[in-house]
Structure 1
Amino acid sequence: MSITSPHFKFNLSISQNPHQPFLLTSHIKSSSSSTIFKSSRTRRFQTPHPSYSINPKLRPVVTRVSNSSGSGGPFDDATSQKVSDFEASRSGDSYVGLFIRMLGLDNDPLDREQAVDALWKYSLGGKKCIDEIMKFRGSVFLTINLLKSESSVACEAAAGLLRQISSVNIYRDLVAESGAIEEITSLLTRPSLTFEVKEQSLCVLSNLSVEERFRLQIANSDLLLLLIKLLDDDEMKVKEAAGSVLANLALSDSNHKTMVEAGVIPPLAKFLRTDTEASKVIRKEAQSALLELAKDDYYKILLIEEGLVVVPLVGAAAYKSFKPSLHSWPSLPDGSELNVKQTSKGPSRFGASELLVGLHVEDDKNTKLEEAKKNAIVGRTQQQFLARIGAIELEDGSNNNQTGNRKFTILPWVDGVARLVLILELEDESAIAKAAEAIADASVSEHMRTSFKEAGAVKNLVRLLDYDSEPVRLGVVRALERLSVSNDVCQKIQAEGVLKPLIRSLKNSDASESSTHMILNILGRILDPSKEMKSKFFDAPVNGSKKGWNEAGTSNSNLTFSSQTIQEGDVSDSTFLTRLIEILKASPPVLQTKAASILEFLTAFESCREKIISLDMESALDSVFRHKFFNGKEDTESETDFQEIELQTLEIEEAGLAVSATSRLLTRLLDSEHFRKTINASRLTNALRNVLTSRIPLQNKDWVAACLVKLNSLSGPTELGSENPINTEVILYETIPRLIEQIKDSYSLEERETAVLELNRIISEGVVDSTRAVAAQGGIFPLVKLIEEGNDRVVEAGLAILYNLSMDVENHPAIVAAGAVPTLRRIVLSERPQWVRALHLLRTLPT
């Protein structure tokens, strides 16, 4: 059959059967092939940029046509004009086979370019047109092959056609399996590429990445780095398309690690910050991707480090209960008064005083606000304004039908902090609980903790501690626990009167272990005896500075961590003290550590100390000191796997912290004569001796040793016999290991020299097994090294220690292996003052 048209003259017979296979090479004869589609060569079709439609179950699929289940999308005037060539005299379907044959590999490149361009325009007609193209086998393969073309027009048209085909679900597998991903990867690596080609290619990837298996393929290839790089492209359309692909990739949890390690968070986060210009499309794509990544707590921290905060969406209806104070003189968000001159005696008619407070501050030269306070004012003003007009969550897209199922949004930290504090003031229990949890999650740095303090979070959280709802109380306690890590914020929490509600919560014996742990953490930071000690000693200038603790130290507040700031009546409740002792008796070591520290602080109050002594304190102390690791039954020879060894090591460290804090408490209680008369000193001494010889870390043995020495001095010499083994055990298990550690690890040569001299004094006094303890702690190697570097006093002391160690033949191999022989020979040959002792030592060693 001969086919003719007003534009072409072909002498070609083609089958009417559209399913008939055809060769990749076609023999199309034209009287003037150079004039084929002449108009198309001189005037390229310009198509509008596609819109981004969103599948309610998946990420947005970049497409200009329908999905697999629908009919073709509506034509606009421009699109209708572009396909008019197919509909002018007869159905365009009759030409599809011809144009596909023109894609053959042996055709003129320009003809192939015009053919794919025509097919692209035809595919804009919708799914019916795409189905007509897909009736011809090889159409996808020939189109993908054109991605290798050096012509930007051909590449754009080929990518555009693939984009339309891949937008239909049933053809997506064929496009990917034909090598589209690999060819697009190669295409995007070209140094010079028009933004149209980039956009169309990325839209193909966006369509393919709807499928799980293709997401994994894209994420684990070189494409991921290319996508991240394209987020910095000059064209916004390219950024949007790249963001769409990344948002799809983030839907697979298995891709998260790969994406984060490739560095996807910083470039996406910048689109959500207020200092970056970006379209709504790229903001939504970046937000969708980051929300998926933020499901992991660690990745959420990385997000916060980029200046963003994950905020729960509680629904616009929840904000109806918000009632701002429209007729009050403005104050700072944290509740403190704002030092601004009041120009109007009456209240603002429209409540504008709160909104314009920033202008008042800027105009007042005598008022200097810190940056954190200014940001808090700006954030509160913006969020309260949105709440007043009922648009608080509209800008987050939470009312959009396609995103209505979202539970979180991402905001810049200034707005996010203010939003969370605003939610705390609502009446919705669920919203308050979510906000409190979000504050806890975001309080990962000093900057964020300070920001929440300045925004007024502390005041609201303390107020909510007595809330009826259990989830609210748990969320509030968790938030306060995370905020109290900061010294300044902890002082603010104390100033807001947190002690009473916390003590009421702790007295509830039905509280969960996690809640008890968090409450003890907060109380432990407020009632911290070490901070009280700092407040006594560091009010004076520090390190020669003219500033004291509150000025030069970590705290900028006028509050101090002293027992003077605590009302004795707030902490002397008998039920509260009984609860602390119960925790000390029968709780995990972590809780015992906190309880012991708080009890130590409370012993500074006479009434508290007497109540503690009368509450069977000895039984609580004994339960801590007789932990399973201190009773001599720990199995060090049993065969255990690596995981069990790690777990046991962690338990030993936690037990060491508990016994150290309890030893400090006991040392403080021993100052009371009443307490000394009520305890069994011998029993406590035996328990502490077992602790001293156990495997707990060395740094936890210092207070154990101090407590033992104090108990020994109070017991008298007759009770323990004339040999007094207490001092010997303290020397062997605490003093010598500490000195060896100082010789090994100290960076100060002076400290190492002091340790060697002290060690020599101990050994020269003939302490039993002292040399064996030095060898067991690995002290031979650092001693030899220090002899090489030290002065005459150090060399003399070190040689004396080595000589005593050499009296035990078992130590000879270690002394020789440490390199002592060459060092001793140099001392002898140089006739240093210690050469005689060095010579004696050489004669002792097997050289």
Structure 2
Amino acid sequence: MLASAAQPPLTVKQPHLLQSSLSISNTLIHMEVIAAKPTRPRNRRPRLFFPSTRFQCLNLKSRSSRQFLTRVSDSDGGGAADATPQQFKPSTDTKEIKSTSLGDGYVGLFIRMLGLDNDSLDREQAIVALWKYSLGGKKYVEAIMQFPGCINLIVNLLRSESSSACEAAAGLLRSISLVNLYRDVVAQSGAIEEITGLLNRPSLEPEVKEQAICTLWNLSVDEKFRGKIANGDVLPLLVKSVDDEDVKVKEAAGGVLANLSLSHFSHSIMVEAGVIPKLAKLLRTDVEGSKVIRKEARNALLELCKDEYYRILVVEEGLVPVPIIGSAAYKSFRPGLYSWPSLPDGMEIEQTYKTPSRFGASELLLGLHVDEKNANIEEAKMNAIVGRTQQQFLARIGAIELEDDKKQSELTTGKQLTLLPWTDGVARLVLILGLEDESAIARAAEAIADASINEHIRIAFREAGAVNLLVQLLDSKNNAIVLAAVRALERLSVSNVVCQLIEDEGVRDPLVNLLKQPQMSDILMEKALDILARISDPNKEMKSKFYDGRNGSKKGSDAARGPYGSAEITGDIANMSMSKTNTSKNVLDSGVIARLVETLKTPTPSLQTKATSILDFYAVIDPSMDTIISADIESGLDVVFQQKILEDTESEVYNQQPEKYALEVEEAGHAISAASRLFTKLLDSKKFCQKIDSAHFTKLLSDILKSNIPLHNKDWVAACLVKLGSLSGPRLDFEDPINMEVTLHETIPRLMEQLNTSFFLEEKEAAVVELNRIISEGVVDSTRAIASQGGIFPLVELIEQGSERAVEACLAILYNLSMDSENHSAIIAAGAVPVLKRIVLSQRPQWNRALHLLRTLPT
């Protein structure tokens, strides 16, 4: 179903060359177009723009005042209605244009007057008359289009220097493009290119802009023309028009962008053109705008939000996608009736004055009198209070989503969304979490997960009280709600501050119960392990100390003093954690340990990493390590150390998708590093050492050390391998093959990376001194390892920059490298010869060693 468009009315004035022969010099066209009320489609479809149902004639001689016409509105009171052109008919209470008076007699005449050989004024008056005539509806457009080639003459007038002619030509194209049959003809006639040139003019009247952009609005209904509009030079002009001072131009530009967003291929082009900040600005509460442009901006952004990355950009601009659940769902809302107020996150305000006032003024006036020296209420808390108050008020009076009551039948199965500013959106989502509609709760939790993209909004959800409600939802019997709640908590737990509150709210027990379930989806297990791993992170406390944001605890004296005493906010998270934090005993029961060990045996490195991190944490803080050892932990570690991706170097992924292969190797490296750290700690137990096959694990770790996992993942592998080797008894450092392998495959590569990438001269010098020590102690193949790592060039470079100690070490290493003639060309290519000659000629302390090195080189 397509919408029709009526144009602003104009007076038809006879061409000055034909005034003596024509008797219609004072003829005025006055008609009324009535749009039948359309049925709204289930999914949002492209919309056509059309103005008011009633228009009056204007005098062409006087264009000083512009008549703004309202659209045929839908039930929302604004915007374009969805209707077919056939639904438009002349009004019965106005004069109907007779085909014998104008349609048959003068349409052909006006078409002929558009010819290029006619006078410009005649062409202008002819196009104006035809534009006016086309406003009658589809049959009048058909009367014009029966003349072959008329479209080309109309498009040609877009180049006219007369604003009246350009406006009429664009308006006529707008009327013609409303009819499905002729939309292809308009696009193929070069109208889009001509409109682009028209809009590029430096000074263009708003009336012309409106008609031209509305033509594009009609053409963008068809997907085959959207690509031409999006890929052309007109898109930047449309984005710029969103900021136009004229409201009609802004609405038309927003309509085109909304239609373009319906095609996925245009999303990246629109985002690169900067459409998201422009449209998001129109939806903020501090920006005024018409209802039509706000609606079109919302529709366009909602289409872009279907892409995960573009949704992040929309949220960054201060908007939150919120599910539309229907006003009926809010009827279950029951506001809490508290005798004393509290903040949205559950923090209570201390009541210091116990004697009640006669009229309850102590409660009513609480917070109106604030001592600025003692009060320190963060912006996030203030926004949470304001948002909760506004949304609860709308829910109480039944005004939430009231305009969508007509869509209730669709909302039961659809996934409609709207966009709200941060303050309102966060409060609305938290409000939905407390309703009875299970599908609405699940959708709200999913929306919280999608919106939690930065620290600011995570703190906003914490202050709004989302954490407590989400933790409670983990006990739900609805699997969709549980999965959505776990996903939301996992995204919120990225913040160290919110993660601490999640732990304080008692999330451990519900997560442990989930892990004990025999049938558990992989996605649910992954998210649950994510939360437990972050809670169990041994570095969490250190991170919180260096975190530069608010730590959530009480700073100073967050007090608000009323007329009858002081009221202090007592929500210190540290105090809450003393009472709410669960002990680790509930986590370390045999059922959970067994489930974690089984997780280690899965082929998914990410799950292996998280399960290993949890076991690693509790193996340290729990004195009963026997619980973990008795769960056959060595079998799980054995699976982690045998990553398939490291063995299959001839796979299709390795040869055809190197980026994917590198990513998989990195994930395997994280899992191996975490398992090596746990294995190292378990080696402190004699019982564990007696159970394992030392030779088997030594072979596995040695192979991993030689593999191509990232170098930083080999740290714990090397440490574990050294500790495992020491269990067989003391040996000399480099007679031990394990130590030799660690040196060649971990120590030397790490020192070479430090030499090549460090920005600090002291670190480079320390690496060179350590490399010289390793070579001097006679490690076999150490010089070959240095040369293969590309160490010759940075060594020569450091000779000119380093201290005397570093120069001595560099010369010693290069001398050892020169013993192999294969390294001579590389040493010379690095520019060592002139550097060594300068040292010899300047009689520096190292001149003797430099001279010996020069003699070994073929110079």
Tell me, yes or no, whether TM beats 0.5. Answer: yes
Q: 1:96 to 1:365 in 2, by over 3 A?
A: farther
Paired position in structure 2 for 1:384: 392
Residues in 1 aligned to 2:123 and 2:13: alpha-carbon distance in whole angstroms: 15
- Equivalent residues of 1:462, 1:498 under 8 A apart: yes
Paired position in structure 2 for 1:769: 781
Note if 1:599 corresponds to 2:611.
no
Q: 1:173 to 1:362 in 2, by over 3 A?
A: farther
Paired position in structure 2 for 1:22: none
Q: Deviations over 1:539-562 (max 9, x none)?
A: 7xx89x9x999999xxx9648999
How far the C-alpha of 1:200 sits from its partner, in A, is: 1.2
Q: 1:567 to 1:231 in 2, by over 3 A?
A: same
Paired position in structure 1 for 2:585: 569
Residues in 1 aligned to 2:520 and 2:285: alpha-carbon distance in whole angstroms: 43
Paired position in structure 2 for 1:171: 182
Note if 1:706 corresponds to 2:719.
yes
Q: Deviations over 1:618-638 (max 9, x none)?
A: 2222222233466xx5546x8
Percent of aligned positions that are identical = 59
How far the C-alpha of 1:374 sits from its partner, in A, is: 0.6
Paired position in structure 2 for 1:614: 630
Question: Of the candidates 61, 73, 87, which is equivalent to residue 42 of structure 1?
Answer: 61
- Equivalent residues of 2:13, 2:125 under 8 A apart: no
Paired position in structure 2 for 1:789: 801
Q: 1:845 to 1:562 in 2, by over 3 A?
A: farther
Question: Of the candidates 613, 618, 626, which is equivalent to residue 642 of structure 2?
Answer: 626
Residues in 1 aligned to 2:659 and 2:795: alpha-carbon distance in whole angstroms: 31
Q: Which amino acid aligns with 2:806?
A: V
Question: Of the candidates 809, 831, 856, which is equivalent to residue 844 of structure 1?
Answer: 856
Q: 1:773 to 1:194 in 2, by over 3 A?
A: same
Residues in 1 aligned to 2:533 and 2:128: alpha-carbon distance in whole angstroms: 73
How far the C-alpha of 1:361 sits from its partner, in A, is: 7.2
How far the C-alpha of 1:698 sits from its partner, in A, is: 1.2
Q: 1:828 to 1:479 in 2, by over 3 A?
A: same
Residues in 2 aligned to 1:676 and 1:88: alpha-carbon distance in whole angstroms: 102
Paired position in structure 2 for 1:283: 294
Larger mean CA deviation between 811-820 and 481-490 belongs to: 811-820
The correspondence of residues 153-164 of structure 1 with structure 2, limited to 5 A, is 153-164=164-175
Paired position in structure 2 for 1:505: 514
Question: Of the candidates 121, 130, 133, which is equivalent to residue 119 of structure 1?
Answer: 130
Q: 1:750 to 1:96 in 2, by over 3 A?
A: same
Q: Which amino acid aligns with 1:506?
A: L
- Equivalent residues of 2:772, 2:812 under 8 A apart: yes
For residue 586 of structure 2, give the secondary structure of its aligned residue in structure 1.
helix
Larger mean CA deviation between 581-590 and 244-253 belongs to: 581-590
How far the C-alpha of 1:178 sits from its partner, in A, is: 2.3
How far the C-alpha of 1:835 sits from its partner, in A, is: 1.3
Residues in 2 aligned to 1:841 and 1:564: alpha-carbon distance in whole angstroms: 70
Note if 1:242 corresponds to 2:261.
no
For residue 193 of structure 1, give the secondary structure of its aligned residue in structure 2.
coil
Paired position in structure 2 for 1:23: none
How far the C-alpha of 1:344 sits from its partner, in A, is: 9.7
Residues in 2 aligned to 1:775 and 1:572: alpha-carbon distance in whole angstroms: 49
How far the C-alpha of 1:729 sits from its partner, in A, is: 1.5
- Equivalent residues of 1:572, 1:607 under 8 A apart: no
Residues in 2 aligned to 1:580 and 1:160: alpha-carbon distance in whole angstroms: 69
How far the C-alpha of 1:154 sits from its partner, in A, is: 1.9
- Equivalent residues of 1:62, 1:203 under 8 A apart: no
Q: Which amino acid aligns with 2:183?
A: R
Q: Deviations over 1:610-654 (max 9, x none)?
A: 211222222222222233466xx5546x88764344333333222
- Equivalent residues of 1:209, 1:249 under 8 A apart: yes
- Equivalent residues of 1:140, 1:178 under 8 A apart: yes
Residues in 2 aligned to 1:828 and 1:560: alpha-carbon distance in whole angstroms: 71
Note if 1:590 corresponds to 2:601.
no
Paired position in structure 2 for 1:16: none
Paired position in structure 2 for 1:422: 431
The correspondence of residues 445-484 of structure 1 with structure 2, limited to 5 A, is 445-484=454-493
How far the C-alpha of 1:148 sits from its partner, in A, is: 1.8
Larger mean CA deviation between 155-164 and 46-55 belongs to: 46-55
The correspondence of residues 92-111 of structure 1 with structure 2, limited to 5 A, is 94-111=105-122
- Equivalent residues of 2:677, 2:716 under 8 A apart: yes
How far the C-alpha of 1:37 sits from its partner, in A, is: 6.6
Q: 1:513 to 1:563 in 2, by over 3 A?
A: farther
Note if 1:798 corresponds to 2:810.
yes
The correspondence of residues 711-722 of structure 1 with structure 2, limited to 5 A, is 711-717=724-730
How far the C-alpha of 1:117 sits from its partner, in A, is: 2.2
Q: 1:423 to 1:563 in 2, by over 3 A?
A: closer
- Equivalent residues of 1:293, 1:299 under 8 A apart: yes
- Equivalent residues of 1:124, 1:164 under 8 A apart: yes
- Equivalent residues of 1:340, 1:367 under 8 A apart: no
- Equivalent residues of 1:376, 1:454 under 8 A apart: yes
Paired position in structure 2 for 1:662: 675
Note if 1:149 corresponds to 2:168.
no
Q: 1:294 to 1:225 in 2, by over 3 A?
A: same
Question: Of the candidates 481, 486, 491, which is equivalent to residue 495 of structure 2?
Answer: 486
How far the C-alpha of 1:97 sits from its partner, in A, is: 2.9
Note if 1:818 corresponds to 2:834.
no
Q: 1:721 to 1:94 in 2, by over 3 A?
A: closer
How far the C-alpha of 1:54 sits from its partner, in A, is: 8.1
Note if 1:724 corresponds to 2:736.
yes
Q: 1:397 to 1:843 in 2, by over 3 A?
A: farther
Q: 1:216 to 1:51 in 2, by over 3 A?
A: farther
How far the C-alpha of 1:46 sits from its partner, in A, is: 7.5
Residues in 1 aligned to 2:486 and 2:172: alpha-carbon distance in whole angstroms: 57
Note if 1:495 corresponds to 2:507.
no
Paired position in structure 2 for 1:438: 447
Paired position in structure 1 for 2:144: 133
Structure 1 runs not aligned, ≥5 long = 1-6, 11-26
Paired position in structure 2 for 1:760: 772
Residues in 2 aligned to 1:423 and 1:549: alpha-carbon distance in whole angstroms: 24
Residues in 2 aligned to 1:731 and 1:200: alpha-carbon distance in whole angstroms: 76
Larger mean CA deviation between 320-329 and 490-499 belongs to: 320-329
- Equivalent residues of 1:763, 1:770 under 8 A apart: yes
Residues in 1 aligned to 2:463 and 2:428: alpha-carbon distance in whole angstroms: 13
How far the C-alpha of 1:394 sits from its partner, in A, is: 2.7
Q: Which amino acid aligns with 2:312?
A: I
Residues in 1 aligned to 2:368 and 2:577: alpha-carbon distance in whole angstroms: 35
Structure 2 runs not aligned, ≥5 long = 1-11, 28-57, 556-571
How far the C-alpha of 1:277 sits from its partner, in A, is: 0.6
- Equivalent residues of 1:712, 1:726 under 8 A apart: yes
Paired position in structure 1 for 2:211: 200
How far the C-alpha of 1:676 sits from its partner, in A, is: 3.1
Larger RCO: 1 or 2 (CA < 8 Å, sep 6+): 2
Q: 1:448 to 1:648 in 2, by over 3 A?
A: same
How far the C-alpha of 1:92 sits from its partner, in A, is: 6.2
Q: 1:135 to 1:62 in 2, by over 3 A?
A: farther
Q: Which amino acid aligns with 2:643?
A: H
How far the C-alpha of 1:359 sits from its partner, in A, is: 6.4
For residue 320 of structure 2, give the secondary structure of its aligned residue in structure 1.
strand
Paired position in structure 1 for 2:30: none
Residues in 2 aligned to 1:809 and 1:549: alpha-carbon distance in whole angstroms: 64
Residues in 2 aligned to 1:624 and 1:579: alpha-carbon distance in whole angstroms: 15
TM-score normalised by structure 2 residue count: 0.85
Q: Which amino acid aligns with 1:670?
A: L
- Equivalent residues of 1:380, 1:455 under 8 A apart: yes
Q: Deviations over 1:788-836 (max 9, x none)?
A: 2111111110000010111112222222222222221222222211111
Residues in 2 aligned to 1:246 and 1:224: alpha-carbon distance in whole angstroms: 8
TM-score normalised by structure 1 residue count: 0.86
How far the C-alpha of 1:360 sits from its partner, in A, is: 3.5
How far the C-alpha of 1:343 sits from its partner, in A, is: 11
- Equivalent residues of 2:356, 2:362 under 8 A apart: no
Paired position in structure 2 for 1:744: 756
Residues in 2 aligned to 1:531 and 1:560: alpha-carbon distance in whole angstroms: 18
Residues in 1 aligned to 2:837 and 2:372: alpha-carbon distance in whole angstroms: 79
Q: Deviations over 1:121-149 (max 9, x none)?
A: 33333333333333333433333222222
RMSD, matched Cα: 3.8
How many residue pairs get matched?
Answer: 798
Question: Of the candidates 508, 525, 531, which is equivalent to residue 516 of structure 1?
Answer: 525
